[in-house]
Amino acid sequence: MVWGVIYHPEVQKDLDLLGAVAANRILDVIEERIINGEPDKSGKPLRASLAGCRRIRTGDTRIVYRVDGKAIQVLIVAVGARRDKEV
């Protein structure tokens, strides 16, 4: 099953801050593990203020997303290093 992906408006800024190489790596992971994978089963469930979201790590970067199984869509919430305290 192919999942639709919606990007939060801030994600483009997150990707720009990471640079082209890291951004391309992240987009590859999103395509492989989220769009063409099983996003509702992969990734680690998050808690506290990010409850309901899941995360996938690639290197020292986290991809935080929320799955809407009814609409077969995934909302990419944020991309960045955890140390930024925003991701």
Task: Kindly list the domain boundaries of the chain, sorted by start residue.
Answer: 4-84
> Is 30 strand, coil or helix?
helix
Whole-model pTM: value is 0.88
pLDDT single digits (tens) 12-61: 999 999 999 999 999 999 999 999 999 999 899 999 999 999 999 998 89
Average pLDDT over residues 79-86: 72
Helix axis angle for 20-29 and 9-18, nearest 10°, is: 130
**35 touches 2 (CB < 8 A):** yes
With cut-offs at 50, 70 and 90, classify the pLDDT of residue 74: very high
- The two beta strands, 73-81 and 4-7, are parallel
DSSP code for 80: E
CATH of domain 4-84: 3.30.2310.20
